[in-house]
Amino acid sequence: MKGIEGLQTYISDGSLRIVQAVAVPRSVSTALARAINEADGQSVFINEPFNRRVRSPDAAANVILDNVDPLLSIATGSLTVITKSMASYMDHAAFTEMSALSESTIWNVSHPLIQMGSLLTRIANDIAVEPGADLIRQDTLEPYLEGVTDYLAHSEKSDNFSKTGWASIGEHYQNKHLIENSIVVDGEELITNPYIILSGLSARLGLKFNPRMVGGWERGFINISNGDNKQITAESAWTRQAATSIGMAALPRQAIDIVKLPAQLREHITEVAIPVYEAMIADSLGHTTVNPVSNQPKQHFQWQNL
């Protein structure tokens, strides 16, 4: 049995449970999912079953089934399947169907000015230098901002800033009342207080916290967007840190200066991204009133490499 019906059969007989993470890009979401995958018990992390090629619920369900079927044959008891997808790759129907199958939905966001600093720098390198380049830094980004803004607003890969993920995650979040266990995790809170956030998250998910969730990662992940090609995943600028790391450490990182951004991008951040973030973050684990873009910025994520 395939598709959504096949997943439902496994869920109904207790063979597996799904924990779904929905994220905006550059929000520490892959690190969060890897950390959850280190909890005690049998689990697997499947990254981006919804991706640039797979958009329908049945197709995404088949991707999940193809990867869990071999594991279920050797599992003893229930297998926890952690999925993470970008909100922009899921339309309303896809999100609704996956949420109905998921025992919990985790929303992963970071303050838009911190998230955008990382996203804009990554895109600038890809389009102004070459895919995967790291020559442009956030502090040298200004000459490339017009080109990146045009890419986000009017390109085959991003229309009306769809690639930032904020409009999509905001639309999905409006349906949080349909989700039995809805949990918001702020990436900044996660890396500042990983033990507190991950132990609290474990309790909400019905998992047993393991200190290895913070550091000492042993389990890899299945990266569907690269066809589970481990070499591509390890080399891609979008995924290599997540693929080669064993935990988290903190590093100060400044938010991007919104005054220097092109007007169209400023409008998207102030009219879409920040209102969505503020609505979601009030419900987050470990929520504080500290402003992550103040003169005393919170520490930001750094990969602890092998």
- Check residue 303 and give its pLDDT: 34
- List CB contacts of 70: < 8 A, sequence separation 6 or more: none
Apex CA 30: angle with CA 105 and CA 254, to 5°?
A: 110
Distance CA 291, CA 188 (A): 10
- Check residue 197 and give its pLDDT: 94
Residue 132, helix vs strand vs coil: coil
Is the dihedral angle over the CA atoms 260, 263, 268, 274 positive or is it negative? positive
User: Residue 271 has what DSSP assignment?
Assistant: I
Tokens of 97: 């169907």
Mean pLDDT of the chain: 88
- Check residue 178 and give its pLDDT: 86
Pairing between β-strand 299-305 and β-strand 245-252 as defined by DSSP bridges = antiparallel
Residue in the block written with tokens 């502090």: 139
- Check residue 290 and give its pLDDT: 43
- List CB contacts of 47: < 8 A, sequence separation 6 or more: 30, 33, 83, 84, 221, 222, 223, 224, 225, 239
Where the chain has pLDDT below 50, the residues are 289-292, 294-306
Domain 3-305 has CATH 3.40.50: yes
User: Residue 272 has what DSSP assignment?
Assistant: I
Distance CA 205, CA 3 (A): 25
- Check residue 228 and give its pLDDT: 57
Distance CA 141, CA 2 (A): 46
Distance CA 20, CA 85 (A): 8
Length in residues, the chain: 306
- Check residue 229 and give its pLDDT: 58
Angle formed by the axes of helices 3-12 and 57-72, nearest 10°: 40
